[in-house]
Amino acid sequence: MVSGFGYFERFDDRTARMYRFLEILLLWSYRLTANMVRRYVKPPARVLEIGSGTGRLAGLLSSYGYYVVGVDVSLPMIRQARRFWRPDFVNAGSWLLPTMPGKFDVAVAMFTLHHWGDHSSSIKNVYDSLRPNSVFIVVEADADRVKVLGDHSCSERCLVNVLAPYFNVSFIRSFPLIIAIGKTLK
């Protein structure tokens, strides 16, 4: 645990290799998320992915012509992600994003928001990193429909509580996912 930043998970090399296998099972969800990004911004837009993990989404978006910066707290995950030659990957956390304000057209957090602990500084950092009229796309397992995942998911209520101070939030459900579209309040 990092003092003052709440809980977060940092994965080791073994877990990072296991996630490479999970990528194959979840490929449909990466494609769905990439299509959400494509709906809101066109290439060569700048995309910030928080919790980029093994880089599958960042690699997919880069192949569509987006400029992508992936941020992850886990060095083993970043080592796996570097197999994609185009996205930039940075070892950092959501609570202290190494970005300049207003540099990104869209931010994405896929299966990571539930790991962020105290969300207040993280959400503010995401908001600050975005240009006016941008979106923050959050993809999580739908806790309202998939109860078996417990704290590895988010409910609509949770997402509204976390995002509402900085974003107007709407939802898209694609079982078993809940996708929050947060439009900046700038």
Lowest-confidence region among 83-87, 97-101, 147-151:
147-151
Q: How confident is the model at residue 5 (pLDDT cuts 50, 70, 90)?
A: very low
Q: Please, are residues 8 and 46 in contact by the beta-carbon 8 Å criterion?
A: no
88: amino acid identity, one letter: D
Percent of the chain with pLDDT over 90: 59
Amino acid found at 145: R
Mean pLDDT of the 41-63 span: 95
Tell me the pLDDT tens digit for each residue of 11-29.
778 887 787 788 889 999 9
What would the pLDDT profile of 102-156 be if each residue is shown by its tens digit? 999 999 999 998 878 678 889 999 999 999 999 999 999 998 888 776 666 788 9
In three-state secondary structure terms, 141 is strand
- Rounded to 5°, the CA angle 40-115-174 comes to 45
Q: What does the alpha-carbon distance between residue 126 and residue 181 come to, in Å, rounded to a whole number?
A: 13
Q: Compute the distance between CA of residue 136 and CA of residue 144 in angstroms, rounded to an integer.
A: 21
Residues 6+ away with beta carbon under 8 Å from 165: 120, 123
Per CATH, the homologous superfamily of domain 13-184 is: Vaccinia Virus protein VP39 (3.40.50.150)
> What is the value of pTM for the model shown?
0.90
Q: Determine how many CB atoms are found less than 10 A away from the CB of residue 130.
A: 26
Task: Copy the structure tokens of residue 121.
Answer: 């500084």
